A = this chain, B = another copy of it.
Amino acid sequence: MDQFKGKELDLGVFGVWRESVPDRLWIKASGLKLRFCTNETQATREKFVKKLQGMGFDISVTEVTAPAPAACRILKERSLRPHLLVHNALVPEFAEIDKANPNCVVIGDAAENFTYANLNEAFRVLIGMEKPVLISLGRGRYYKETDGLKLDVGAYMKALEYACDVQAEVVGKPAKMFFESALAEMGVPPQQAIMIGDDIVNDVGGAQRCGMRALQVRTGKYRPCDENHPHVKPDAYVNNLAEAVDVILQQL
């Protein structure tokens, strides 16, 4: 489980989770459909799910929407062969993708793989294309680990965008397409879905732009200044996850 060490779990939920397992069970008993939406790109879904299972959740891989599989669908649909600049632990997600003679670059939170040599290599692949295609697994600015703050994939995405004068296609929250594919997998229209998350922009704003309602929990990444956010206003605030579950179940 080293790949999660110190990095806060990045997770939004259609339904609820975090502090306590019973909340999740209430949701499950209610018959509501549940989906876990994460921007995690430092591990495969398999490892991600094992981590949650270790915390007591009976979650399965098929309940998780994550950037790498979403990117794989795009790659297949458009016959794109990626040059990967991603975390070693994520590479297995791309096992079935043809990577010979690349015609696009896929960038994730590569962490230690963000070396000078690897960045130059990804850049050369991009700049060598007639029309550069850059797919980014998220657009996060930074995150916190036990040994301090780290630049996230968004910063390196911006570096490549600027160098190649190209705009990246972002897969993951808050991209509309990412929420839409999660809804499609659930077979639920956006008007009937509620997003619960702690990130005002990626969770709440992204879901709302997709036509969903969204609750912000006042835990995790939440900061009081979020309540004065210039662009995003949640449909409601809840102090914690238990309260979110109550709110949802009361309205059934």
Binding site for B on A (CB under 8 A): 111-112, 114-116, 119-120, 123-124, 127, 141-142, 148-152, 154-156, 158-165
Contacts and interface: CB of A to CB of B under 8 A. Distances in A.
A149 B120 contact: yes
The binding surface of chain A is classed by DSSP as: helix
Given A115-B115, A127-B142, A120 B159 contact: no
A150 B123 CA distance: 8
Contacts of A149: 120, 123-124, 127
A163 B123 CA distance: 20
Contacts of A154: 162-163
B148 A120 contact: yes
A238 to B, nearest CB: 28
A120 B151 contact: yes
Contact of A123 (B123, B151, B160, B162): B151
30 contacts: A112-B116, A114-B116, A114-B119, A115-B115, A119-B151, A120-B148, A120-B149, A120-B150, A123-B142, A123-B149, A123-B151, A123-B155, A124-B148, A124-B149, A127-B149, A141-B162, A141-B164, A141-B165, A142-B163, A151-B163, A152-B163, A154-B162, A154-B163, A155-B159, A155-B160, A155-B162, A155-B163, A156-B159, A158-B161, A159-B159
Contacts of A163: 141-142, 151-152, 154-155
